[in-house]
Amino acid sequence: MTSLVLFHNTYRCTGPQGDKAADLVLLHGWGLHSIVWDDIMPGLLQHFRVTVIDLPGMGQSPLPAGDYTLDYLARHVGAILPPQCHLMGWSLGGLVALRLASERPQQVLSLTMVASTPKFVAAGDWPGVDARLFDRFIEVFEEDAEGTLIRFLALNCKDADTVREDVRKLKDILYFCGLPAPQALRGGLAVLRDSDLREELAGLSLPRLMLFGEHDNIVPIATADMLATQHEVRVLAQVSHVPFVSQPEQFLVALRQGWRGLGVITESA
């Protein structure tokens, strides 16, 4: 039986490269879908042909059978990747992108992780949130799935200078496609809680860019300091867990600077 195919859409590069542009694939975070990238899409299309993918059970994607694990996510996303592409993932999407970059070094040309980390939960000297945060969200999810989703989205925006506008935008995006499947939400929280891809990140040889929000309450800013010695890191001021929503122009500037430094795009682009 043919597996269900995730929703995906590809947009033509509007910049000088046109149809010869490289492919960039965008992977969103927990509970949302690909419309979350809309504010920065025109800037991305100046450099790339861009494909957006909705993760299983979120946005317009179906929910194929199987346990909702990181391997499950990587398998279904990987089935529709271009033959060669750059990957950019936000939050949960960053974990999926990292796993794909590790498994497919000949296919993935570069990795950009936005407000993401190889391990979201604190351990020893590794900065992160307390595992009980995700446990609590999973627990209350069983009682009030929609309310839990809204509270998590609010946590994404907490302490940003534009917190009210950010929460409103994320709610609008959330309801545009209807609520995600409960299994996808429950499983996605477990992936965030349980994944530890630090060795996979350390083993990558491709260009790597990591962007963080100064006031992120899910990925502590100390994570940037921990990773800056081995990876290209940018920290965006006055934003939290959704920097491309809070400050799209500032985000694009940091993104282009990082990509130019790594050779992902040229100086003239």
Residue numbers annotated as active site: 91, 216, 241
The full length of the chain comes to 269
* Amino acid code (one letter) for 24: L
Both tokens of 35, joined, read 């419309």
Task: Give the span between the Cα atoms of 140 and 134, in whole angstroms.
Answer: 10
Task: Give the span between the Cα atoms of 47 and 13, in whole angstroms.
Answer: 7
- Angle (nearest 5°) at CA 80 between 75 and 83: 110
Task: Give the span between the Cα atoms of 197 and 123, in whole angstroms.
Answer: 13
Beta bridge mates, 134: none
The structure tokens 């300091």 sit at 225
Contact 123, 198 (CB under 8 A): no
Contact 179, 146 (CB under 8 A): yes
Task: Give the span between the Cα atoms of 128 and 119, in whole angstroms.
Answer: 7
- Helix H segments across 57-215? 70-78, 92-103, 131-141, 145-157, 163-176, 182-194, 198-202
Both tokens of 84, joined, read 């060669």
Nearest Cα residue to 70 out of 115, 108, 30: 30
